[in-house]
Structure 1
Amino acid sequence: MDKNSEGNQSYNKRYISSSQKIEAKYINFIMLLDDQITRNLNAAGVETRPVKTNGLWCCFLLPVVLTFYILLYNVSPLYKLVTYMSYGLLFYSILFIVFISISSVVIKESTYGGCVASSLVSALFLYSFLGQDLIFSLMVVSVPVVSWYSYMLRQALIRCPRTFTIGEAMIVIQGIVLFGLMGLAKLFSNLDDTNEETDFINVIIYTVLSTVGIIITLLYLLTDEQRNIQNLAKIFGAGAVFALIILHSVLGASFMLKFWNYIFMHENRVQIFCFWLSLVIIAVLVLLSRTKLAVKANTVTRKSFHILASLVFMSGILLDVNLITLAAGIGLGLLVLVEALRKSRIEPISSALQSAFLVYSDEKDCGSFAMTPLYLYAGLACPLLLVPQHAGVELELLSGVLAIGVGDTAASWFGSHYGFNKWTGSNRTLEGTAFNILSQVATVYALELFELLQGNNALIRTVVAATVTGLVEAKTDQVDNLILPLVSLIAYQATWFIC
């Protein structure tokens, strides 16, 4: 061996050694930061979901998804508004992480000055790129939104013990705040450039969700003596009156006929609706029979609901994306309402729902609310909201279905039956991860084979996205249903140049 070869080997060893040292220092710093945050949360009496890490990186996911789309597409001013406001929420999240790593005071105090600095970040973007007045952007939009986020984040961690990690709470509250901002902006501004059909869908969705919000608020205000079926019926009656007034005033006196015609006066939609109804009936029958037996469902059994839900969203996205958007909004309201009724302590409804919850809950549902089914539904539906245009981007709209409906379900089934080699520091198996990736690629290949999905280099993009989500699913201890759809969207966005 000559001297040059020896010198190159020596240089490579030193380079690898230096890289490993830098990586080790970075990982150690993150772990020490995470441990310090956990100690400060314990000192403040805050109980997060019991996992090894706090998932601090999760706060970047939603702003990154939104940023990719404003760079790749000619989006509406409303989409830009929501994206720029996400920067303020992200900046506040980073400040929150920094301060909670130093002291638990940020959890306990009623006000926090970081809201002003974070609001200024969003206000500068609104001023620079949307042409909005700086004072208006700061005082009317940014400060209220960031302050709302700050309050809700702390309340979620304090009042919902063992329900969220910090990262999960940040994603959930970011989504709620930005969705609320979008609704208010649609109502009080002309920043959105939608068509008549989209406006019709939005009115129904926001009416349903606001009605559910009113019902939940009234249920919360009931005293123990008032929690009975009679008062529940009155609350539902009040909610129905509110919804009818809103729909009548916005859509006109014939709004019921318009809604009926939209769904049932279209042959294709009637067939889709009947298919969905059959899947819902199957799910309800399985749920009732398993609840009656009172046999605890295992992970593979729970994943069967992933398959049924994925079939609903996949068929809707591929055949009628507007119809599935409408159905997804209504379904979200109903799912939240069911969870509210479970927690309402109104008998016999609460007991019946609690029995079903005990049978199908897993170790992640150890907190105040049953978040796993909500995460599943939101994960399947979120691309419908996040992807700014629906025509020609069905692959990205299917990112939630592929990541959790197909990949995560396949990994769980295959890993539990045939997995033997586990990832380091994880209970996930290498075999399950491999089947996760292969199942997503095979699904896209089948859809292309039957001409249900069209797109340039869809298989190559899916290989990249499936590999990324498969590795994240194998290594993270955050809730898969919540983070994998966002990770999948980012992976698909990163491969946009292949199209």
Structure 2
Amino acid sequence: MTGGNCGSASRQRRQRLFYEACIPALLLALLACRYGVPPNSNSTVLCAVALILSLSSLVLRLVWSSEDSTHPHVYRPGADDGAVWGSLLVPISVLATSVGAAEASADFIPGASRLYPAIVLSLGMSVTFTAHYQWSRIRKTALYVEASCFIWALWLACTIAIGYAGKAALGDTFGLVQSIAVLLIASAAQHAWRNEILRSLPRSFTIGEAAVFTQGLALVAVDFAIQMGYRLQTDSPDSEYWEPHMHVLCLEAVVLGLWMAGSVLARVMATGVLGKRARRGVPGLMVLGSVFGGFGVLALALVSYISQIHPIRWILATTFGSPAHIAVLAYWLALLAVAGAVYAVAQGDVSESTKFMLHVKRKSYHVLAALMFVPGLVYARPLLYMGFAVAVAGFVVAECMRALDLGPCSTSIDAFMRRFIDYRDAGPVVTAHFYLLLGCALPVWLGHGSVSNLAGVLSLGIADTAASLVGMKLGRVRWPGTAKTVEGTVGFCLSLLAAIGVVLWLLKGGEGVGWYWYALVSVVVGVLEALTEQNDNLVVPLCMYALMQALP
């Protein structure tokens, strides 16, 4: 490729990434205005900080190159650094949930009204991440001193403003200093976790993807710690209050337990305490079971202590508590049995398949997700909520077995996973199945809506599959600087709009919202899927969820 062609391709890429950055920046600004108007003393402050964050993200994309040549061995190849998404995606998701919830502006109490402190913490962590990223990029420039003063002065002003608003979130016992201290601790924790993930799992994430993951983890950890603090101060907790919110508490315990168990297990295996043969035998399986089992028991004990509700009984009652739940469970088992039989018949031909047929087999998991999760949301939402948590736990355990070569099944799991990986799985862990599951689960966990809860299922299970197959068969015109085609994007938009219409018909919803709004959502999400270099299984569902919540 000549120098002129290289320069043209680079300009096209920079333009495409700027247009991509405009989508989350404008979306955050829209959600911030909807949250902060009509104004009150706290919502106006948070709205202003969110608008500053949106503008900073566009400046970030305009000024700095999207590539980070200083750490090519750390970040996932074939993608920009994703710093814009690391700054905006978590605040977008939290604000979207707040806009769609009736109690969005309520003061902090345990349970469903956790949205206000989540907004405060997410904005605080994002502001700190953005300031640190900008500062790290100017350290070798001529305007280092002047730019550093401006960046950190703006960060300090935003942090104080967020801390002022955070006093309402953390209760009467917290003043401005204590509120800012909580923000700084959460920001420092997610910064340390992000660096640890990038160091221990090189080439698996962009910095933005790692930032999104660790910001979400920090939100869960802080909220769980607050619930524990309230329980320690209360002699007689209200178990009747916790009954409808047990799914939130159990989910937080599962997430934290998996994080700690995976971290401990990785460190234990790094010491070389087990040889290769022992890892693949019973000793490796015993280590795996003891670590995850121990943290599982600890998580259940903490849930029981906070809520004064027996978690095992609650899980059984939720699973088998109604005929609809039992029917959905039977449907899931039958669907999995059919999918397993189809895979068993077709697996012998994978190595000889054409590229198109292999792509069809990969996308069949997206279709399977749609077939499983749509009936679950319509007829058994609590079961689906809990089922996603169980599925995430199973995926984490299976990936630990594969990546650490633990147990006699590790080789089979590795062979299965490697049949369907793509260029984004360049690191030591296979992330494709995690992103697919989380992309479907996060809109359901965030709640507050009908079609918006199915943002992941519809965008990934239906629209993304249609875009891939239409693009491979009919695609001729490519988006500048990408392998994706305009025809594939058209297929994405049309199939997504049709899927939304079917779900609205099933749920008998959508009254008061014109079809043109859903068409706009489909187009914006389709264009984002075509432009982004981040993992679309993560950013596309959350942006669609936020857009659906922002509908007038």
TM over 0.5: yes
Query: For residue 437 of structure 1, what is the aligned residue in structure 2?
Result: 493
The question of 1:205 aligning with 2:251 is answered yes
Residues 240/470 of structure 1: CA separation in 2 closer, same or farther (3 Å cut): same
Structure 1 contact 40–104 (Cα < 8 Å) conserved? no
Distance 1:198 1:286 in 2: 39
Residues 294/104 of structure 1: CA separation in 2 closer, same or farther (3 Å cut): farther
Which runs of structure 2 are paired with 1:354-393 in the superposition (5 Å)? 354-387=414-447, 389=448, 393=449
Query: For residue 184 of structure 1, what is the aligned residue in structure 2?
Result: 225
Q: How many residues align?
A: 458
Residues 230/130 of structure 1: CA separation in 2 closer, same or farther (3 Å cut): closer
The question of 1:123 aligning with 2:163 is answered yes
The question of 1:219 aligning with 2:259 is answered no
Residue 116 of structure 1, CA deviation: 9.0
Distance 1:177 1:54 in 2: 21
Structure 1 contact 318–452 (Cα < 8 Å) conserved? no
Residue 29 of structure 1, CA deviation: 7.9
Choose which of 234, 240, 246 in structure 1 pairs with 2:293: 240
Residue 252 of structure 1, CA deviation: 7.3
Superimposed CA distance per residue, residues 129-170 of structure 1 (whole angstroms, 9 cap, x where no aligned partner): 66542222223x222211101112222333322111222222
The question of 1:175 aligning with 2:216 is answered yes
Comparing 341-350 with 279-288, greater Cα deviation is found at 279-288
Counting aligned pairs with the same residue, the percent is 22
Residue 403 of structure 1, CA deviation: 1.8
**Partner secondary structure for residue 369 of structure 1:** coil
Which runs of structure 2 are paired with 1:287-302 in the superposition (5 Å)? 295=351, 298-302=358-362
Structure 2 contact 131–155 (Cα < 8 Å) conserved? no
Amino acid at match of 2:76: R
Residue 374 of structure 1, CA deviation: 0.7
The question of 1:318 aligning with 2:378 is answered yes
Residues 258/419 of structure 1: CA separation in 2 closer, same or farther (3 Å cut): same
Structure 1 contact 407–437 (Cα < 8 Å) conserved? yes
Structure 2 contact 117–169 (Cα < 8 Å) conserved? no
Distance 1:489 1:427 in 2: 26
Query: For residue 137 of structure 1, what is the aligned residue in structure 2?
Result: 179
The question of 1:466 aligning with 2:522 is answered yes
Residue 318 of structure 1, CA deviation: 1.6
Structure 1 contact 444–458 (Cα < 8 Å) conserved? no
Residue 320 of structure 1, CA deviation: 2.0
Distance 2:343 2:334 in 1: 14
Structure 1 contact 36–101 (Cα < 8 Å) conserved? no
Query: For residue 89 of structure 2, what is the aligned residue in structure 1?
Result: 61
Amino acid at match of 1:167: G
The question of 1:280 aligning with 2:336 is answered yes
Which blocks of at least 5 consecutive residues in structure 1 are unaligned?
A: 1-22, 106-112
Structure 2 contact 451–504 (Cα < 8 Å) conserved? no
Amino acid at match of 1:154: N
Which blocks of at least 5 consecutive residues in structure 2 are unaligned?
A: 1-14, 20-57, 109-113, 142-151
Residue 183 of structure 1, CA deviation: 2.5
Residue 361 of structure 1, CA deviation: 0.6
Residue 379 of structure 1, CA deviation: 0.9
Residue 444 of structure 1, CA deviation: 2.1
Superimposed CA distance per residue, residues 191-241 of structure 1 (whole angstroms, 9 cap, x where no aligned partner): 999944433324443444444345424422134342342243254146436
TM-score by length of 2: 0.74
The question of 1:491 aligning with 2:547 is answered yes
Structure 1 contact 395–455 (Cα < 8 Å) conserved? no
Structure 1 contact 313–324 (Cα < 8 Å) conserved? yes
Structure 1 contact 318–453 (Cα < 8 Å) conserved? no
Query: For residue 97 of structure 1, what is the aligned residue in structure 2?
Result: 133
Residues 72/348 of structure 1: CA separation in 2 closer, same or farther (3 Å cut): closer
Structure 2 contact 451–503 (Cα < 8 Å) conserved? no
Structure 1 contact 383–398 (Cα < 8 Å) conserved? yes
Choose which of 51, 58, 70 in structure 1 pairs with 2:78: 51
Distance 2:62 2:285 in 1: 49
Distance 2:309 2:166 in 1: 38
RMSD (Å), alpha carbons: 3.4
